[in-house]
Each structure stands twice: as structure tokens, then as C-alpha cells.
Amino acid sequence: MENLFEKESVKRVIKILNEFDTNLKVEVLTSSARTANDAALSLNCEVGAIVKSLLLRTDNDFILCLVSGDKRCSLNKIKKIINIKDVSMADAEQVRSQTGFSIGGVSPVAHLKKIKILVDSSLSRFENVYAAAGHPHSIFKITYKQLVKLTNGKEEDIV
């Protein structure tokens, strides 16, 4: 398998994590973490501790929702929170152009463009959560409080 630490998308994540806290490390998994279930199996943790990074498209902008792996993102709740009627899932091309990551490897940090972030407050059930690190086979472990601080995300009930 290629060295994922050499991939530009993973390097961006490592740089941001190192600037925030040198104890945060990207791990490469031998199996895929493309879905929350895959990641939970690979890490031997609860599916809920996996952070799903979902990019949503609004009228003229994008918003990233960090959602617990065992929950479903509620577009209706998000519409109320951001007070916009038209909200939908971004397509693969939009995900890549906005974040610089492919679906399955979207990190909560190190995006190509500045994106507003909402953090699913149900993630706070877990002391540590696991998020993608720029590739479907790379993740990092972080506390919920650190995740909110690192992403400058707004904690909301979005599931």
C-alpha cells in the first residue's frame, strides 16, 4: 500500500493537528474507514464515536456537519439553525473542490476553503472520537472538547 503520510491531503491534516496539539497523531488503518461502520470495526470502538464529516450545500455556500457515526444528520434541524430553506448534500465534486478531500476521507480540518462547521452535540457522549484524516484509510483520535475547539465548530443538536 502507498505511504499515506506522503499524500498531500493527509499532510494538510497532520500540519493542522501538529499546530493544535503535538499529541494528536494520524493513524493509518489496514482496513478502510470509508464508512462509520468500517471505521468502528477497524478501531474496535462504538460506531457513535466515529465522526462523519458531511458537506451540505446551501443557496450559495457550504456547511460541514460533524455527526456521530450512529446518527443521521437532520436537514430540517440544520435549516432551522442556519435559517436557510434550501439545504442538500453536496455531491462528490463539490466535496472535493471545497474540502480538498474525497468522500470517505473528509477531515473536520485542513479544508481548501473556509467552511462553517456544526458539531453534533451527541458526540459529547464519548470522551474520545475518531475522525478521518484526509484519506479513507487514515484517522485521528481526539477528545470531543478538542474537536470543537480545533474546528471552531458550533455545537448543535443536528441529528
Residues 130, 45: Cα–Cα separation, whole Å: 9
CA atoms within 13 A on the CB side of 87: 20
Answering whether pTM is above 0.75, one says yes
Place of cell 471545497: 98
C-alpha cell at 36: 462509520
Place of cell 470517505: 104
Of all residues in the chain, the percent with pLDDT exceeding 70 is 99
Contacts of 11 (CB under 8 A, 6+ apart): 5, 134
Give the model's confidence band at 26: pLDDT under 50 very low, under 70 low, under 90 confident, else very high. very high
CATH number of 4-152: 3.90.960.10
Residues 98, 157: Cα–Cα separation, whole Å: 24
| Interval 33-86: pLDDT, tens | 788 998 999 899 999 999 999 999 998 899 999 999 999 999 999 999 999 999
| Interval 83-120: pLDDT, tens | 999 999 999 999 999 999 999 999 999 999 999 999 99
Give the model's confidence band at 1: pLDDT under 50 very low, under 70 low, under 90 confident, else very high. low
What was the pLDDT predicted at 12?
Answer: 97
C-alpha cell at 121: 452535540
| Interval 6-22: pLDDT, tens | 999 999 999 999 999 99
| Interval 111-156: pLDDT, tens | 999 999 999 999 999 999 999 999 999 999 999 999 999 999 999 9
CA atoms within 13 A on the CB side of 153: 25
CB 87, CB 75: distance < 8 Å: yes
What was the pLDDT predicted at 8?
Answer: 95
